[in-house]
Chain A
Amino acid sequence: QKEVEQNSGPLSVPEGAIASLNCTYSDRGSQSFFWYRQYSGKSPELIMSIYSNGDKEDGRFTAQLNKASQYVSLLIRDSQPSDSATYLCAAYTSGTYKYIFGTGTRLKVLA
């Protein structure tokens, strides 16, 4: 069973701090990785995608990928209370036409 694993949290960080969210995946054939943010009662919103080893930055968000360790992370700098949400990690393997999602990490940013 191909899986994506995340710590369910909650991860609590003070406002202005860096939030670090982690994810591991089991399928070495996975090529594309995504982070989604989901507010309670809403649908997931894509915030970052990463396809090659290393870091990718977009505003306050940095995604990191290490294919050798099968590890993906998301850093949120200068965390704001509005960042409080569940963050879903997903892996995609072309040929399976299937995105595998983790169960999500709940982030709480404390004002």
Chain B
Amino acid sequence: KAGVTQTPRYLIKTRGQQVTLSCSPISGHRSVSWYQQTPGQGLQFLFEYFSETQRNKGNFPGRFSGRQFSNSRSEMNVSTLELGDSALYLCASSPDRTSGNEQFFGPGTRLTVL
């Protein structure tokens, strides 16, 4: 099975711009989660989607949003970029079972905000 894919892998933007990141989960996985990882803060949960519905959300400002499509692919959007948004953005997918709910990460998108 192909793993989780994320595009683009690298992005450079300037403050005030917006950005859209894309994630394709492992085939058959219906749950997609997004994380922000920075050296100082570790892995911070952004949101989780299942069947096109956001089921949980982390403590991030409304500039961070996401969605999931009927084929389970997901996108996240960050508007009005700030310097502090520079980070590795990780997408992870899981089968969403009651047990054995292993989550697998994509390679990440490294966003640099200048």
Cβ–Cβ < 8 Å partners of A34 in chain B: 102-103
Question: Which residue in chain A gives the minimum CB-CB distance to B110?
Answer: A41
Q: Are A43 and B56 in contact (CB under 8 A)?
A: no
The B76-112 residues at the A interface (CB cut-off 8 A) are 88, 90, 92, 96, 98-108
What is the bound-complex CA distance between A97 and B53, given in angstroms? 12
Interface size class of B (residues with CB under 8 A): 20 to 34
Q: Are A32 and B45 in contact (CB under 8 A)?
A: no
Q: Are A99 and B103 in contact (CB under 8 A)?
A: yes
| Interface membership of B43, Cβ < 8 A | yes
Q: Are A51 and B105 in contact (CB under 8 A)?
A: no
Main secondary structure, interface of B, reads strand
The B31-81 residues at the A interface (CB cut-off 8 A) are 31, 33, 35, 42-43, 45, 48, 50, 55-56
Q: Are A96 and B101 in contact (CB under 8 A)?
A: no
What is the bound-complex CA distance between A90 and B96, given in angstroms? 16
Q: Which B residues are within 8 Å of any A CB, using their own CB?
A: 31, 33, 35, 42-43, 45, 48, 50, 55-56, 88, 90, 92, 96, 98-108
Q: Which A residues are within 8 Å of any B CB, using their own CB?
A: 31-32, 34, 36, 42-46, 49, 51, 88, 90, 92, 94, 96-104
17 sample A-B contacts, Cβ–Cβ < 8 Å, listed by A number: A32-B101, A34-B102, A43-B106, A43-B108, A46-B102, A49-B100, A92-B101, A94-B101, A96-B56, A97-B48, A97-B50, A98-B33, A99-B33, A100-B45, A101-B43, A101-B45, A103-B42
**Additional pairs, 13, CB under 8 Å, beyond known A46-B103, A92-B101:** A31-B99, A43-B88, A43-B105, A43-B108, A44-B90, A46-B105, A49-B102, A97-B50, A98-B45, A100-B45, A101-B42, A101-B43, A104-B42
